[in-house]
Amino acid sequence: MKKTRYYIEITMPGGEHLDWYGVCASAPTPLYKDKITGETYCYEFSEDTSWAHKGDENNGWRWPVKLIRVEEVEVEQQIIKLPSENKYKNGYNWKAKGPNARLRKKTSADIAADKAKKDAEFFKMREEFRNNAKKKK
């Protein structure tokens, strides 16, 4: 999928190590850092609309923004799978809530099989107990 990257320069008086989190928190669009060049970019940019609030003192935006260049890039969508130890008992990565929760419920056949298994174990233990009691007499 093709997307347009807008490389921008944000002047941070306190330095990037101090102001970066404030810039990201108050930016109108998500900001990213290029891993190779270290430049800041975003996928949506319009000086008239999205960054127009930079002069508004109520918003807290105090960093001047300048567009450096525009580049069209090919972006692959990645599916990130959570580690298996992060899953709940129901096999999903979220807790089920409400009437439409997708829990894996036991079917009637599973319930009947479990009951039969427990009954068989009970009768087996009862017979062993009776046999041990007869031997002691």
> Looking at the predicted structure, is the pLDDT value of residue 136 above 70?
yes
- Would 52 be classed as within a structural domain? yes
Sign of the alpha-carbon dihedral angle for 90, 93, 97, 101: negative
- Would 38 be classed as within a structural domain? yes
Same domain? For 7 and 57 the reply is yes
> Looking at the predicted structure, is the pLDDT value of residue 61 above 80?
no
Report in angstroms the alpha-carbon separations of 41 from 19, 29, 50, 57, 129. 16, 10, 14, 24, 76
Using CB atoms within 10 Å of the CB of residue 40, give its burial: 0 to 12 exposed, 13 to 18 middle, 19+ buried: buried
Same domain? For 66 and 115 the reply is no
pLDDT digits (tens, 9 = 90+) for 79-93: 877 666 656 665 665
- Would 83 be classed as within a structural domain? no
Residue closest to 1 by CA, chosen among 43, 57, 40, 55: 43
Same domain? For 65 and 128 the reply is no
SS3 content of the chain, % helix, strand, coil (to 5): 35, 20, 50
Give the pTM.
Answer: 0.49
Same domain? For 20 and 70 the reply is yes
- Would 91 be classed as within a structural domain? no
Same domain? For 8 and 62 the reply is yes
Domain encompassing residue 116:
106-137
pLDDT digits (tens, 9 = 90+) for 90-118: 566 556 566 655 555 667 778 888 899 99
What pLDDT score does 78 carry? Answer: 82
- Would 113 be classed as within a structural domain? yes
Q: List the single range of 34-48, 64-78, 86-100, 117-131 with lowest mean pLDDT.
A: 86-100
Helices (H), the chain: 16-26, 108-136
- Would 100 be classed as within a structural domain? no
